Amino acid sequence: MKLTSPTQLDQVARDFRASLEGYKTTISLCGGTNCTACGCNEVLEVLKTELEARNLTYTVRLIVTGCQGLCSEAPLISINPDDVLYCNVEPGWIKRIVSDTVIEGKTIPDYCFTDPVNGTTYEKFSEIPFFSDQTRVLLANSPHIDPSDIRDYISVGGYRALAKALFEMEPGEIVDEISASGLRGRGGGGFPTGRKWASGAKAPGDHKWVICNADEGNPGAYMDGSLLESNPHLIIEGMIIGAKAVGAGAPGGGYIYVRNEYPLALSRISEAINEARRWGLLGNDILGSGLSFDIRINRGGGAFVCGESTALMASLEGKPGEPRPKYVHTVEKGYHNEPSVLNNVETWANVPGIILDGAQKYREHGTDASPGTKIFSLVGKVRHTGLVEIPMDRSVRSLVEGIGGGAPEGKKLKAVQTGGPSGGCLPVSQLDLQLDFDVLNEAGSMMGAGGIIVMDEDTCMVDIALHFIRFNTDESCGKCTPCREGLQEMERVLTHITEGKAEMDDLGHLEELGQWMIGGCLCALGATAPHPVLSTIKYFRDEYETHIKGHKCPGGVCRELIEYSVIEANCTGCGDCVTVCPTGAVSGLPDKVHKIDMLLCTKCDECYKACKFEAIGK
Amino acid sequence: MADRIEITINEWRVKADNREPLINVCRREGIDVPTLCHHDRIKPYGVCRVCMVKVSWGRKSKYVTACNYPVENDDVIDTESRDVMSLRKMSIEALLGRCPNEQEIVKFAASHGVTSSRFPPHKPGGDDCILCGLCVGVCNEVVGAKALGFMERGPEREVVTPFMEFPESCIACGACSALCPTTKMTMEHQKTEILKSRHGDIRPCRYALMGLYPGGICANNYRCHACDVDQKYREIAGDEHPIFIARTEITDGGEAA
């Protein structure tokens, strides 16, 4: 059915809620990418069969949601209204879950989340510190709604902001509201969204475009993919509001540039667009307001640089995804040289909330310069990995040590990398910094898209810097000299350092290369690529010096610099290391101290891993 | 008529058209801004980063490439401060490291005070291409033959013909080899003969295409190696320019056959 007035939205919501009244329980199975990889589809099949066998299909509502957030414990099942979250669910548990929790209403503590730090078991979903410490605004509905059913989104207040924007606000008022909220672009640059929209609205032209950047390529970051998977209509609603604000209605239009490596996000957003068209929320005369606007999807070909605005638009036009100089902004001349307002998925997702509740309410969270909440994807050597949404006035420490639970296995934290492969590494002494766009920039790192990679004491910072430089070298388009030649040169020098072949002058050379790239590169990929190197030299200079002067790798990572030796006091002569050594470099009689012949050793690390008595040193 | 504006270059006030490329203003005023990837007839590509200059507005400043930066009123431009020079020298050093055996690049680098490079070449003996994009630009925009393009990305990027095959659309005009600052673009006698037989003798010559010769069609119908435009070009570029070496080879081979 096509909705032709805003009052019909309320009717849809009422009807849908009425249709749910028959259900006593809702089981939400997480169907995010991680849970799918961890086997949620098998759980789903067993669950369906079990509910059918017990004749519960009319009283129990089973939905597959998008990512619920606690990805280290996948697959997840949440059961409402009991407010229970079961972690690491196996198909064999389903019988007991259905009989005990669904039918009898008893929580099974064995399946609940147990904190590995203090061993506390949390029987209530909302009491788990990982969730209760967060401020979930954008992700609030993700664990509860079925992303494939538009009515579910409408029933929790969806498309109300659109109705308000279409019928109660002028385009200028929408832009003013966004400006007043202080919303900053979530894709990395942190450019004020309101200012971008105002230039878009002012730019001359009949054809204008609003574009959503969902080409999330940072390794370890997946908040945009997760938003598209769990709540695609939120982004569509934001884009329609943006289209009205800047005048991108027909004959202009909208594009979502999704990376092709997100098959689930791609299918969910395509389905959502089709559904929105069926319900009259996209297409001609949206909700009877006279605004015509449609969104098309463009699949990205897997180039990291296409997250850069000009490269993205070149790619949309069907040209090679290479950036061009931005002396003329894309908001004036972008897609096909027409005004194009490009925002990141998360930025668009913020729009409906600001329009519905007002800019003042939005400013309640975060700092003056960086208001609102931000989704971080917390990965690496940290106990609880997953998506975390917190206001931007929280400190890095509260995110990593509080919500993340610190490094696992009793290891010490060493550094936190923010902002993906182009961000910097912050040492433990800097962890009290606020997660704010400007504060992170000043510290030599950046907010980026919100990827947070945690590193423990076993990490070698030179190796980490080399890893990110390799990533950027692979992803550089090779168009401009500093990015193409500078990254290759940085990779060469860093490789020398990890192999112990470098000299102290090379550090100065690296810093000089970094300054050259920051000043001279054509686009932001090259200009931010030296950050991992410069920040590690700034904060971990001693580690570089140990590599160069001492020919030692303090983290025990750089292969060329490792010398294995037997710590005689600890060796019991158990022979485990002899068994695993593939080249026969380790030898020794039973119950006698063993020896390692470094001429034969290939540094495969197997003996070190096999030793139970910490008798192998490196 | 474009609006006239005033900008400051190295503390000189100069007049310019609004949003005119900065390099045009500099050249008109006799201020030397070196480039390796710019030609008047081709849309600025802005990749060699040798023409880097600094633009300031009050306390804010930014490094831009002169070849494609559109000037605006009251821009304060600095083309020779230390930081600008160090960025520029580093770009030249990187390109010299990439192509240590290309005489034009060695000469260019030496004229800017760069005689050695810390960047080792990626290939033994060095590369023969600095990826300035002049050949691709002239072939696509001026000639319209579209017989050249870029392949791969990052370190593997190189200039190739479509699908790395003998290009069907090439008209053997030689514009790419005339513009190429290195020895990457050369014309092979045998292939030129094939292309000549396909397109005949009457076709636009490279000087006409590049705007160096006003006549449109070459008066000498391809046997233009001795025409006075060629002579003039020889005076500017010298006998040693790769194009003349390539030309001599073609002619000698052609007459012998």
The answer for B 138-167 residues in CB contact with A (under 8 A) is 150, 152-157
Report how far residue A457's alpha carbon sits from residue A543's, in angstroms, rounded to the nearest whole number: 12
Q: How far is A556 from chain B (nearest CA, A)?
A: 29
Which residue from B minimizes the CA distance to A526? B154
Which residue from B minimizes the CA distance to A326? B69
ipTM of the complex: 0.85
Q: Which residues of A touch B69 (CB under 8 A)?
A: 325, 327
Q: A25-30 and A77-80 as β-strands: parallel, antiparallel, unpaired?
A: antiparallel
Tell me what pLDDT residue A257 has: 95
Tell me what pLDDT residue A604 has: 85
A–B CB contacts, 8 A cutoff, strictly below: 93
CB A374 within 8 A of CB A187: no
Predicted confidence band at B196 (pLDDT cuts at 50, 70, 90)? low
B57 and A CB contact within 8 Å: no
Selecting from A324, A477, A516 the residue whose C-beta is nearest the C-beta of B87 gives A516
CB B127 within 8 A of CB B180: no
Tell me what pLDDT residue A219 has: 82
List of residues 6+ apart from B118 with CB closer than 8 A: A489, A509, B93, B97
Six-digit token string for A443: 């510290």
Q: Do B90 and A480 touch (CB under 8 A)?
A: no
pLDDT digits (tens, 9 = 90+) for B106-151: 999 999 999 999 999 988 888 889 999 998 998 888 777 788 999 9
Q: Does the pLDDT at position B54 exceed 90?
A: yes
DSSP state of A615: -
Tell me what pLDDT residue A143 has: 87
Q: Which residues of B touch A488 (CB under 8 A)?
A: 122, 155
B64 and A CB contact within 8 Å: yes
Tell me what pLDDT residue B223 has: 47
- The residue ranges of DSSP E strands in A473-567, in sequence order, are 565-566
Alpha helix (H) residue ranges in A111-219: 129-132, 150-155, 160-168, 171-181, 193-202
Q: Which of A527, A513, A468 is nearest to A323 (CA)?
A: A527
Would you list the DSSP string of chain B? -PPEEEEEETTEEEEEETT-BHHHHHHHTT-----SS--TTS-----S-TTEEEEEETTEEEEEETTTPBP-TT-EEESSSHHHHHHHHHHHHHHHHH-TT-HHHHHHHHHTT----SSPPSSTT--S-----HHHHIIIIII-----EEES-GGG-EEE-GGGS--TT-----HHHHH-SSSSS---HHHHHHHHHHH-S-S--HHHHHTSSTTSS-TTTT--TTSHHHHHHHHHH-TTSHHHHHHHHHHHHHHH-
Q: Do A482 and B97 touch (CB under 8 A)?
A: no
Q: Which residues of B touch A482 (CB under 8 A)?
A: 49, 90-91, 94
CB A566 within 8 A of CB A594: yes
Q: Which of A524, A461, A526 is nearest to A489 (CA)?
A: A526
pLDDT digits (tens, 9 = 90+) for B197-239: 666 554 555 555 554 444 333 433 444 444 555 555 566 666 6
Selected for mutation to probe chain A from B19, B22, B43, B47 (highest A CB count within 10 Å) is B47
Q: How many CB atoms sit inside 10 A of residue B144's CB?
A: 12
Q: Do B49 and A487 touch (CB under 8 A)?
A: no
| A33: helix, strand or coil | helix
Q: Do B95 and A303 touch (CB under 8 A)?
A: no
- Judge if the upstream peptide bond of residue A232 is cis by omega within 30 degrees of 0: no
Q: Do A520 and B49 touch (CB under 8 A)?
A: yes
Six-digit token string for A302: 């897997």
Selected for mutation to probe chain A from B23, B36, B43, B90 (highest A CB count within 10 Å) is B90
Which residue from B minimizes the CA distance to A471? B154
CA triple B67-B71-B73, angle to 5 deg? 165
Report how far residue A319's alpha carbon sits from residue A209's, in angstroms, rounded to the nearest whole number: 18
B3 and A CB contact within 8 Å: no
Phi, psi of A549, deg, nearest 5: -85, -45
B18 and A CB contact within 8 Å: no
Tell me what pLDDT residue A601 has: 87
Tell me what pLDDT residue A531 has: 93
Q: Which residues of A touch B95 (CB under 8 A)?
A: 481, 485
Q: Which residues of A touch B151 (CB under 8 A)?
A: none
Cα Rg for chain B, rounded, in angstroms?
Answer: 20
List of residues 6+ apart from A471 with CB closer than 8 A: A219, A304, A421
Selecting from A475, A481, A488 the residue whose C-beta is nearest the C-beta of B122 gives A488
Q: How far is A472 from chain B (nearest CA, A)?
A: 9
CB A147 within 8 A of CB A267: no
B83 and A CB contact within 8 Å: yes
Q: Which of A537, A529, A524 is nearest to A469 (CA)?
A: A529
Q: Which residues of A touch B97 (CB under 8 A)?
A: 485, 489
Tell me what pLDDT residue B254 has: 37
Q: How far apart are the first and last CA of chain B?
A: 55
Q: Which of A599, A611, A604 is nearest to A566 (CA)?
A: A611
In DSSP terms, A426 is beta-bridged to A416
pLDDT digits (tens, 9 = 90+) for A494-525: 999 999 899 999 999 999 999 999 999 999 89
Q: Which amino acid is at A37?
A: A
Predicted confidence band at B245 (pLDDT cuts at 50, 70, 90)? low
Positions of chain A with pLDDT under 50:
none
Tell me what pLDDT residue A250 has: 82
Tell me what pLDDT residue B230 has: 56
DSSP state of A27: E
B69 and A CB contact within 8 Å: yes
Six-digit token string for A565: 């030796």
- What's the mean per-residue pLDDT of chain B? 79
pLDDT digits (tens, 9 = 90+) for A51-92: 999 998 889 999 999 988 888 888 999 998 888 999 999 999
Tracing tokens 């940072």 back to the chain, one arrives at A218
Q: How far is A32 from chain B (nearest CA, A)?
A: 32
Q: How far is B220 from chain A (nearest CA, A)?
A: 38
Q: Which of A423, A66, A436, A438 is nearest to A223 (CA)?
A: A66
Q: Do A327 and B95 touch (CB under 8 A)?
A: no
Q: Do B87 and A519 touch (CB under 8 A)?
A: yes
- Please give the distance of CA A370 from its chain centroid, rounded to a whole number: 19
Six-digit token string for A160: 């109300």
Q: Do B154 and A473 touch (CB under 8 A)?
A: yes
Q: How far is A488 from chain B (nearest CA, A)?
A: 7
Q: Do B91 and A488 touch (CB under 8 A)?
A: no
Selected for mutation to probe chain B from A479, A495, A501 (highest B CB count within 10 Å) is A479
Q: Do B70 and A327 touch (CB under 8 A)?
A: yes
Q: Do B49 and A522 touch (CB under 8 A)?
A: yes
Selecting from A327, A476, A486 the residue whose C-beta is nearest the C-beta of B153 gives A476
Which residues of chain A have a Cβ shorter than 8 Å from any chain B Cβ? Answer: 303, 305, 320, 324-325, 327-328, 473-482, 484-489, 492, 509, 512-513, 516, 519-522
List of residues 6+ apart from A315 with CB closer than 8 A: A257, A298, A300, A301, A303, A306, A321
Q: Do A474 and B154 touch (CB under 8 A)?
A: yes
Q: B76-78 and B4-9 as β-strands: parallel, antiparallel, unpaired?
A: parallel
Mean pLDDT, range B153-182, rounded to an integer: 83
**A482: enclosing H helix or E strand:** helix A481-498
Report how far residue B75's alpha carbon sits from residue B61's, in angstroms, rounded to the nearest whole number: 10
